[in-house]
Structure 1
């Protein structure tokens, strides 16, 4: 072994020629996995370490449209310190009423925050808002053009601005918001008179339990004391479920990218090692002639490969460890939570293990073939056939592959996803291998063309020693990767096009008073005659029973049964709303006054196996209302209309106190002419006068919602591009490696053709035709793979709608195919430059 190690080191002193591809591919694969793992560990550590501050406590209880009663509050106080928060949407206006902005109004008590610290920016007149004072988010203060000491109107009350919020510790745990925060005290909220019967608001209780106490045990005791509370419960381990879901989806995608980079890098390693060892056949034969044993040959080149692999792996680990701080510095705003920067050994060691096993997997068979090179190769040269590796070596390769698969499954947060990916990768490699063999056999069976170049091109695809299978695998992986990423990327951009209709409303209005609907219509008509105004009653309440079973007694609620989770939006109507289609049952007559009936969303009904005639019971302001299902509806949720999962017959809910929701579609927004300036003027006037007339109502500009969603999708798109760039780099490296691995054989062919009178242009044209034919064949497979793989990643991993841009996908395939031909021709330039005499001496 020492002799083999010395020989390996001495040969490496001459440079890494031939093994650069091995180092590059391992570097890219390990860097991708180490970076993904380190970033995931850093974000997980941040969520775990800041879980209490993000949630605002150790335990959170959320109620819709009601505060906790005395029994519930007593149960919570029995577990620790309690803080109460009320959140609702509200319009914040300048004192002169000239401008009003939608905000997320947050009323807090003196105990807030239980964890973390509320801080205001420099220049604040107080450290936190007091009675009749408000702290504004920076964006809100800028848009209203107010500064500390100024005044704003909230509801029916003027507030002095205490300062601009610098740090709101539980902001991430509050979930999605339509506007910036406005923070007031609980006693100040009552003076605004924003909370009226039917108003939409959320009451939150945060509990700080003693150190060492078990949050789940405390939750169980509180629930036992208040079995009918029907609140949403979270603990510090899941303080920001929305952010965690986003991170989990991105984590799954990043794992797929990392594993893809590893598979692609493995093919590159195989190409690099094979090409390197093929170039060493004469050296190996010489060593054999001098008495070196097969074992010495095997160990010598194994040590070479391991030494170079160690360098690539070490460089990949260093880059992966540095990735979280680099991403935080460059694109930290795109992350929902700043990562906790530190060195995380687990993902780094795992990545190193992946790299080492990958290097061994794709090197063991070429090494076994190299150790069986005969001394007669010195005399027969390229005519000496390459001997097989043997079943023992193939068995070892399978064991290594099994170890890689086991490591991927055991270390993945989603083992099933990793298992499916491994199966898909193996299936794709098997498919490409079969395609490569089929292309060779088909080329051998086709009639020989008359044109010499075409005849030579066809012969190159099936002659002995042809690189067809190797090129098909490399090209197939590269093109499939490029096309799949194009499908995912275009789904992100296409999400907005499919989710936002061309005739979306200009405004959503919420919390319109029951007796103010006519006045609301007059204001809108006064500023925008001909505007479409749709108003619907709005109530909230939970489903408390399905058929004869109480929801509180259900042990397993299906994931798609969203109507059972918390309070739901409820309404009543005498006619079927636009954008809804009855698929089972029938709508009630317009003058129906019988027992309560309800129409249910088809998807929610399927999740609960509901059918027409079943009973649903909802609780509205503490009154339980059983209703029989009269129909199931298919809802166009993308219409951005006022859609409800449950619509009741008017007699069921008309007597309950409630407010109204409305949509406003301005005439110009419907495409009836006018200009952007006129629309903006109408919007400002409607916004101003509605805020004056109805302080409790809130107007949501649809374009602001679209902008917010666009920002979220933009963050996701940025993360996808950044992560995919590593895999793309690995794919390009594999293409280059496959071409480089075939250089020796092509040099031999080129020299012979030149000796027979072929020109450089003819040799180049022949190779261009060969690469073009392979790229054309592989492009069809890559397209099919991208459709299936892109659909799964976009729909099931990232949770997007299926809306790829096929033009861009096909263009990506075309560019990838052109890149393949270009790289092939560039790689052929050294072959064309080879001088026959020199090349023949080397061969």
Structure 2
């Protein structure tokens, strides 16, 4: 029999509504749909970041440095590369009458924007505003009740609203801000006293190359020429590192969720195909009696399965592509997403390929069984269950190898993907072994005296029992419930942790050192009894560390040590006579007041462990382009959960006090800040920047909540797949259970007893598997929360156990729902059809 003849037979036998193969359709629809949506969305974002890299960055290269602009020598080096645009970024406060709002003040020069178009809501394409004019974002206009033509003040200097910003081309590269942006012309911050020496601001120099240049080589040359300048360089290839890192991590997590859904779906596919072929026993036997060979049988039913798999995969692909614009619309304010449907090659090719490969791997064993079973044995459907066929190992092996290769070719984190595949294989093997162990233990266990319990126990090991399939389906399903609950509660725990029990009401930046007494007096008069804490605030970059005669130069490191985040770019620095509040010494000694000896520094103990530092080693930093070296005198344990001033490096005063700087302050009021406090701070200290902590915490809480919601939505796909598999496993056992129920009804069993029997059987399995699911699900959740997202592991165990209990209840409800049709069967009619 050729393939064409096999297809004619397969087509006649295949119901147009795919009756019997609907579980395969549902499982592939869920898995392929999830993967295609994930690939399409991440592909759209990555494509926008790549194609719009110059526009997002505002040029080919950007050099950032704190508290100063480029020197003449540095500017000459930048101008030799192409056209240059220089601007400042800082936190400030804007005021319109009694309305006050923190803003991100952005000064730009006449060359801005080098790339892209700055558009106002009135349709104008503009550049830098005129002096004492401002382009205001819609958020700032709404907070301050501003309209074009209105006048407001920034740092005590008035500005007129020249227009409302509709599109700021480089907004994504600006990163996180504590207020809506306001654009002014270069020179405005200096005229308003906001960029005086020691003020907290960031200089950004954008360069549009005058010809083709190799970005990495250009950056390396600039770092070599200005090793102590403290520049952070960004290129158009990595215009928004934060967005790229978020998209990469979230995308990888979502892909793993999609693959997990497909693995779970694969179990359902295997069970669905086995059930479908079980129902076709007589047809297969008839074909064999009429002369069909085992190869012919394999061809006929392989064609049917492939046809159903293609329909399910294509339907999932279409659904995933259709879902992408909705996801893009939800994320357009956070990430660059192209409008409309994005036809990403990975979504079009890889997602269906995964679906078909998973269908091949899990459908091959039951198909091989049906292919090789003798015709007479097929006729004895109730007495002779299908045996294993070793011929299935070849397609299974080839399919698994193809899945591994496809994962490695498409994954950005191959090691993580390999761990996932290995974990999925180990989990399948463990559940299969557990299913075998349950059958053996059930067969050897003492027979209970209660008849229903005795029959339920016997059903776990009788010939043709679906215990193995049920254990796998239940194990994956309940593990998905635990995984979801553990991740969600850990995210919630991190949100709660980000809101300390005692937090200041305000942070205030750029308090002039000479005006500290007046600053404290104003707060005491406006909010009596307030606790005010001030610290010197500087910015600097760690250039080298280690023993004095063998320092490690940071720029010469090929890769930063794990956990050495303070080595990236510039960090906050301070000095103090005493150990800062919330810190405790773990090694070494603190310098006393009025220290006049060698400059010393106290280092965060965790950083000291990461960098293998010892007491007596030295640290060299760059502050305002000047190198300063201090010897390590102590290590401190920092309470990072306290929302206050926490510095990795705290120096002795004689190390930094001669550098230009201002103070930063926290204000804690006894009964909540009075409304007039913010007004008084902005009025009396216009060059300072008060920041309400409540708004900052709300932003952090909202961000973490969005991450939690994304995880919830993604994990729900795996849960749905698990429920579909469980339903399929129960449906696959329906034929044999119909036979058993009819016999028991003839022997006098009532419907209530049969129902209790079903609940006992599934309840025993669920009880055993609850502990397994708790271990597996919480272990996977730990990997996601701690290793992938780098959050603290803070699950709410009562909630996790409650969700697991809800999962067990769901299993029993699904089992009950699958049993009701069997309870309604008429014994006489059923016996005539068996």
Name the residue aligned to 1:737: 728
Once the two structures are superposed, residues 438-474 of structure 1 have per-residue CA deviations (whole angstroms, 9 ceiling, x without a partner) of 2112222221111111111111112222111110100
Map 1:24-423; keep pairs closer than 5 Å: 24-94=26-96, 96=97, 98-122=98-122, 129-210=129-210, 212-329=212-329, 331-333=330-332, 335-339=334-338, 341-377=341-377, 380-390=380-390, 392-423=391-422
Inter-partner Cα distance in structure 1 for 2:607 and 2:470: 50
SS in 2 for 1:342: coil
- The question of 1:572 aligning with 2:575 is answered yes
Inter-partner Cα distance in structure 2 for 1:376 and 1:219: 77
Contact kept, 8 Å, 1:124 with 1:164, in 2: the verdict is no
Name the residue aligned to 2:818: 827
SS in 1 for 2:338: coil
Inter-partner Cα distance in structure 2 for 1:156 and 1:507: 20
- Deviation of residue 750 (structure 1)? 0.6
Name the residue aligned to 1:807: 798
Q: Given the superposition, is the C-alpha separation of residues 212 and 456 from structure 1 closer, same or farther in structure 2, using an over 3 Å criterion? A: same
Gaps of 5+ in 2: none
Mean alpha-carbon deviation: is it higher for 451-460 or for 533-542?
533-542
Mean alpha-carbon deviation: is it higher for 694-703 or for 320-329?
320-329
Equivalent residue for 2:706, pick from 703, 709, 715: 715
Inter-partner Cα distance in structure 1 for 2:821 and 2:131: 80
Inter-partner Cα distance in structure 1 for 2:155 and 2:385: 88
Inter-partner Cα distance in structure 1 for 2:668 and 2:478: 46
Inter-partner Cα distance in structure 1 for 2:357 and 2:541: 54
Inter-partner Cα distance in structure 2 for 1:199 and 1:649: 21
Q: Given the superposition, is the C-alpha separation of residues 715 and 304 from structure 1 closer, same or farther in structure 2, using an over 3 Å criterion? A: same
Inter-partner Cα distance in structure 2 for 1:467 and 1:730: 19
Inter-partner Cα distance in structure 1 for 2:148 and 2:468: 71
Once the two structures are superposed, residues 134-164 of structure 1 have per-residue CA deviations (whole angstroms, 9 ceiling, x without a partner) of 1222121112112111111112311111122
Mean alpha-carbon deviation: is it higher for 107-116 or for 140-149?
140-149
Name the residue aligned to 1:441: 440
Map 1:553-632; keep pairs closer than 5 Å: 553-632=556-635
Inter-partner Cα distance in structure 1 for 2:505 and 2:651: 27
Inter-partner Cα distance in structure 2 for 1:126 and 1:256: 45
Inter-partner Cα distance in structure 2 for 1:339 and 1:584: 54
Inter-partner Cα distance in structure 2 for 1:44 and 1:445: 58
Equivalent residue for 2:784, pick from 781, 788, 793: 793
Inter-partner Cα distance in structure 1 for 2:227 and 2:513: 33
Contact kept, 8 Å, 1:282 with 1:377, in 2: the verdict is no
Contact kept, 8 Å, 1:582 with 1:633, in 2: the verdict is yes
Taking structure 1 as the reference length, the TM-score comes to 0.95
Inter-partner Cα distance in structure 1 for 2:738 and 2:10: 27
Q: Given the superposition, is the C-alpha separation of residues 649 and 324 from structure 1 closer, same or farther in structure 2, using an over 3 Å criterion? A: same
Contact kept, 8 Å, 1:615 with 1:628, in 2: the verdict is yes
- Deviation of residue 327 (structure 1)? 1.7
- Deviation of residue 798 (structure 1)? 2.1
Name the residue aligned to 1:455: 454
Mean alpha-carbon deviation: is it higher for 156-165 or for 474-483?
156-165
- Deviation of residue 658 (structure 1)? 2.0
Inter-partner Cα distance in structure 2 for 1:209 and 1:126: 22
Contact kept, 8 Å, 1:91 with 1:154, in 2: the verdict is yes
Map 1:8-27; keep pairs closer than 5 Å: 8-13=10-15, 15-27=17-29
Inter-partner Cα distance in structure 1 for 2:368 and 2:246: 46
Q: Given the superposition, is the C-alpha separation of residues 409 and 364 from structure 1 closer, same or farther in structure 2, using an over 3 Å criterion? A: same
Taking structure 2 as the reference length, the TM-score comes to 0.96
Contact kept, 8 Å, 2:229 with 2:622, in 1: the verdict is no
Contact kept, 8 Å, 1:128 with 1:162, in 2: the verdict is no
- Deviation of residue 203 (structure 1)? 0.4
- Deviation of residue 654 (structure 1)? 2.8
Inter-partner Cα distance in structure 2 for 1:112 and 1:343: 34
Inter-partner Cα distance in structure 2 for 1:817 and 1:608: 48
Mean alpha-carbon deviation: is it higher for 527-536 or for 695-704?
527-536
Contact kept, 8 Å, 2:385 with 2:463, in 1: the verdict is no
Inter-partner Cα distance in structure 1 for 2:425 and 2:386: 25
- The question of 1:534 aligning with 2:533 is answered yes
SS in 2 for 1:462: coil
Name the residue aligned to 2:808: 817
Once the two structures are superposed, residues 323-343 of structure 1 have per-residue CA deviations (whole angstroms, 9 ceiling, x without a partner) of 2213224x2346422236431
Once the two structures are superposed, residues 339-376 of structure 1 have per-residue CA deviations (whole angstroms, 9 ceiling, x without a partner) of 36431233321111111111111111111110122222
User: Across the two proteins, how many residue pairs are aligned to each other?
Assistant: 827
- Deviation of residue 125 (structure 1)? 13
Contact kept, 8 Å, 1:472 with 1:778, in 2: the verdict is yes
Q: Given the superposition, is the C-alpha separation of residues 528 and 725 from structure 1 closer, same or farther in structure 2, using an over 3 Å criterion? A: same
- Deviation of residue 645 (structure 1)? 0.5
Contact kept, 8 Å, 2:485 with 2:803, in 1: the verdict is yes
Contact kept, 8 Å, 1:129 with 1:183, in 2: the verdict is yes
Mean alpha-carbon deviation: is it higher for 222-231 or for 413-422?
222-231
Q: Given the superposition, is the C-alpha separation of residues 143 and 124 from structure 1 closer, same or farther in structure 2, using an over 3 Å criterion? A: farther
- Deviation of residue 769 (structure 1)? 0.9
Inter-partner Cα distance in structure 2 for 1:102 and 1:559: 35
- Deviation of residue 588 (structure 1)? 2.1
- Deviation of residue 385 (structure 1)? 3.8
Contact kept, 8 Å, 2:93 with 2:690, in 1: the verdict is yes
- Deviation of residue 793 (structure 1)? 0.6
- Deviation of residue 631 (structure 1)? 0.9
Map 1:467-506; keep pairs closer than 5 Å: 467-506=466-505
Mean alpha-carbon deviation: is it higher for 788-797 or for 205-214?
205-214
Inter-partner Cα distance in structure 2 for 1:10 and 1:313: 22
Once the two structures are superposed, residues 30-64 of structure 1 have per-residue CA deviations (whole angstroms, 9 ceiling, x without a partner) of 11111111111111111111111111111111111
Contact kept, 8 Å, 1:506 with 1:701, in 2: the verdict is yes
- Deviation of residue 384 (structure 1)? 1.9
- Deviation of residue 212 (structure 1)? 3.9
Name the residue aligned to 1:673: none
Contact kept, 8 Å, 1:88 with 1:202, in 2: the verdict is yes
- Deviation of residue 221 (structure 1)? 4.2
Mean alpha-carbon deviation: is it higher for 218-227 or for 818-827?
218-227
